[in-house]
Chains A and B, each alone.
Chain A
């Protein structure tokens, strides 16, 4: 008897409480639901990077830089009032996987834009995908093929075109280091593009090209190539390679005492290479980069950018990350300028000629081929004086205008298509 009463009591109490609750919430309910509908869906940005494989250290840099760019924009209130939702995936530096990721971004994640890759070949494939599916793609890296001109308008390139690096570094080398040169080139498209640039510049400036040795990508023993080079006795050796290849080559060059007799000029070099080489990367070794953190001494925008990154991640940014940071920012700036997310063509048009100052001095994206026009740096090693991340000194910065060919020339791949590469 008592039990039933209690039960009835508790049920009544429950109902009373519920009614009270409803009364309190009541007026609030329509407010809550209206809020939920009014909140627009986030804008989705998908990027892919090599997170496995030999270049994963650079891929990680790209991820961090993109993360920072996205968070900075979201902190400012998002893009066109909407939050930016960013997803990133591993492309494993593998064409098949990269394309699968691109498909996932488009079909599953319903991304509005795509970005990334560390490989020129992959950029090419994803750029084509972007065209077939009319989705904007900002390439953090590119190969010899200029994207915008070759493909339709949906892609943009934010790294230097390989020949630009060659032109910048070669001019500095011929002016400061001597006229006799021998090159060691990784045997694939990127290496060959660099060599084309060097040979052309060499002819322009009356330098003496003594010869070239092709090494297969991934070679570990360069001693056999250096024998030839030593016999030729150039003023400096040009290294058209990257990563582990460059590390091994310089190591072995120093082992053979080459660095005491001649300089080494790496058309593109990376901080982790310098770190891996330690004291062997001395002041006889010069390297090219698009970005080095010491630019903060020259540009206030650079300082702000570098300090932010350093504060977040405890290490300076590498050029691949910087490329990603600029790419992401420019993409969002173009969207803002166009005032739309859905009209992709309008976004790309807004990107053409877009001026900005983000990490170095003032820059812009060229309209005809969606190419970022940026400067190129030459750094000199510090050998034993290197400490922590103070790995090199900047000796020159070549403005982008000086090293990029005209729109018409780029479209026809002139003048490099006429350069005869040695067998």
Chain B
């Protein structure tokens, strides 16, 4: 027991914190890639996560398969992301660096309303896939399967992402472009296409975050706003442009929120902003960020 609380309750809290953090990791890694590659702060990141949630709703109603739902969310919304970058963001490169941020802000205002027109105002529910419902017994801990799935699935995705960036040719080019896109261009690579691809990947990750969240809550048009804020907070804590930072930051914030809700529930949201403020003041580049980007 610790402070009158049994160990297994604390362990369960930490477990839930990891699950929450995994979703944060997905959100933040997408935002980080986009920022690292394009120097764009995507204010509409949560909006795309919301679109991912709706994509799951639509495909599950059509196919009855959660797997197809997730895949379609990543692919379709990722493609939409690429399109957005190509049509709306590309014309802004080279101009005032605040313009892309402002454009994504405008999107975050307009798109939820569009969803309200198409899908209505009531949230759309998606059930837990039956294969992932129930719980696993681990000693005296009862761990819900879906949360386990979130943690493990995120682990798989992050590992794949890391392998992709480290080992594949495209991954290497993307990493190089993050460092110095001019040099990459000089070397003969079509950087413009890399940027579109990178943006699409980032959006795909956001959509995935929305997609796997949706069984826990309904898909609502306004769910994106909070997700954008969380993505910002985690990215700043972890370090803008650092994937490792997104992972560590995401899990860290997830745990902080979980523990705060346990001790003093009403401060759960404030705790996240507090962490952000502290990091910005004490180590502005974030835990893993590079100096110079800040």
A interface residues with partner B (beta carbon < 8 Å): 52-54, 56-57, 60, 187, 213-216, 218-221, 223-225, 227-228, 230-231, 244, 247-248, 251-252, 255-257, 272, 275-280, 423
Contact = CB atoms under 8 A, between A and B. Distances in A.
Nearest to A215: B265
Nearest to B20: A221
A276 B125 contact: yes
Contact of A215 (B121, B220, B261): B261
A252 B13 CA distance: 14
A256 B144 contact: yes
Given A54-B220, A244-B217, A223 B19 contact: yes
A214 B265 contact: yes
B218 A244 contact: yes
A283 B273 CA distance: 39
Contacts of B16: 221, 223-224, 227
A208 to B, nearest CB: 18
A384 B182 CA distance: 60
Contact of B261 (A52, A57, A224, A231): A224
A216 B261 CA distance: 9
B147 interface: yes
B215 A251 contact: yes
Contacts of B120: 57
B147 to A, nearest CB: 7
B116 interface: yes
Contacts of B268: 215-216, 219
B223 interface: yes
Contacts of B213: 220
**Residue in A255, A257, A275 whose Cβ sees the most chain B Cβ within 10 Å:** A255
B44 to A, nearest CB: 18
B6 interface: yes
A256 B265 CA distance: 19
Contacts of B6: 231
Q: Which 10 A-B pairs have the closest CB atoms?
A: A248-B217, A214-B265, A187-B266, A57-B121, A223-B16, A227-B12, A214-B266, A224-B261, A224-B258, A276-B218
B226 interface: yes
Contact of B116 (A56, A224, A256): A56
Contacts of B9: 227-228, 231
B216 A216 contact: no
A46 to B, nearest CB: 23
B218 A54 contact: no
Chain A residues touching B, majority SS: helix
B257 interface: yes
Contacts of A272: 122-123
A252 B216 contact: yes
Contacts of A57: 120-122
Interface string B12-31: 11001101100000000000
Nearest to A231: B9
Nearest to A278: B125
Contact of A278 (B127, B147, B220): B127
Given A251-B215, A257-B134, A257-B144, 12 more contacts: A54-B222, A56-B116, A57-B122, A60-B121, A214-B264, A219-B269, A224-B16, A244-B217, A255-B144, A276-B122, A277-B125, A277-B218
A278 B16 CA distance: 25
B222 A53 contact: yes
Output the residue of B19, B142, B215, B265 with the most chain A CB within 10 A: B265
Contacts of A248: 216-218
A260 to B, nearest CB: 11
Interface in B126-146: 127-128, 133-135, 142, 144, 146
Given A225-B261, A244-B218, A247-B217, A255 B128 contact: yes
B262 interface: yes
B218 A257 contact: no
Contacts of B220: 54, 244
Contacts of B222: 53-54
Interface string B263-294: 01111110000000000000000000000000
A90 to B, nearest CB: 12
Contacts of A256: 135, 144
Contacts of A277: 125, 218
A276 B123 contact: yes
29 contacts: A53-B222, A56-B121, A187-B265, A213-B265, A214-B266, A215-B268, A218-B226, A218-B269, A219-B261, A223-B16, A223-B144, A224-B13, A224-B20, A227-B9, A227-B12, A228-B9, A228-B262, A231-B6, A231-B9, A244-B218, A247-B218, A251-B215, A252-B216, A255-B146, A257-B144, A276-B122, A277-B125, A278-B127, A280-B127
Given A224-B17, A225-B261, A257 B135 contact: yes
Best-buried of B13, B120, B144, B261 by chain A (most CB within 10 Å): B261
A370 B277 CA distance: 47
A414 B58 CA distance: 50
Nearest to A187: B266
Interface string B188-229: 000000000000000000000000010111101011001000
A224 B215 CA distance: 16
B231 to A, nearest CB: 14
A251 B265 contact: no
B122 A275 contact: yes
A404 to B, nearest CB: 29
A57 B221 CA distance: 12
B22 to A, nearest CB: 11
B266 A223 contact: no
A220 B12 CA distance: 18
A277 B226 CA distance: 21
Q: Which of A214, A216, A278 has the most CB of B within 10 A?
A: A216
Contacts of A225: 261-262, 265
A52 B117 CA distance: 11
Nearest to B219: A276
Contacts of A214: 264-266
Contacts of B127: 278-280
Contact of A224 (B113, B216, B257): B257
